[in-house]
Structure 1
Amino acid sequence: MSNAMQAITTNLAPSPVGPYNQAVLVNEWLYCSGQIALDSSNGEMIGEGNIEQETRQVLKNLLAVLSEAGANSRNVVKTTIYLVDLNDFNQVNKIYSEFFSDGVSPARACVEVSGLPKKAKVEIDCVAFLG
């Protein structure tokens, strides 16, 4: 069994702003970096602080990275949600459930953080199994 790592990148999700990849594929496991609500076409934040609009864009970006690797939301086994304000949990959860309603819902953690890049209100990362 090979342990080769492969970087996964797509123009349909924002380019990394540092020394990391949108995702890394190792054998049948895909590790997706956290996504915030950046528009991939211009690098601008979506939603102007509206948590629902930000969450939809975050998940759209995450699904674009998954798709580039040949995966979809049903392949996701674990997510982590980072919120600047845990009071946004119910709104984020409602939209999140629209994206992860088929099959087995992923394991998940949700934490409140003191800040996120670009003054985002939400960031989500994930791990997916492609086997």
Structure 2
Amino acid sequence: MKAIVMAVGVLACQIAPAWSETEYQITCPGRPTMTVSRAEYGLSTLMWPTRHFQIAAGQQRTSLKGGDKVAITRFRNGDQLIVNKNNDETFFVYANSNKLLPCSRTDKRDAQILSLERYDDSARPNS
């Protein structure tokens, strides 16, 4: 019985789709061009020069009074990304501000898969 369960588990791993990730750039007043990456499992990242990096988990989805559906991503530093899902209009609210800024954005594209090599530190003495 264990062998059957193991075989089914291995087969399920082989046919399961890989997690995909998409990314796009946004340009908003007051900050260099930012790269937004979204993983299928809900993690969003925001990067901009030089060496700025923020994360967010999930999105809040809501509707405006006019019926437009919007998705709000709240990053850990307090920044908010707002996307109108009907027309992809993109807005940004910086942390400690309530000013909604219009942004331009590129089309979504699949992010390149990065394979990390294994690091062997077995020769390193334990401390």
TM-score, normalized by the shorter chain, greater than 0.5 = no
**TM-score scaled by length of structure 2:** 0.24
**TM-score scaled by length of structure 1:** 0.24
Larger radius of gyration: 2
**Which structure has greater strand proportion?**
2
| Higher RCO, Cα 8 Å, sep 6+ | 1
**Which structure has greater helix proportion?**
1
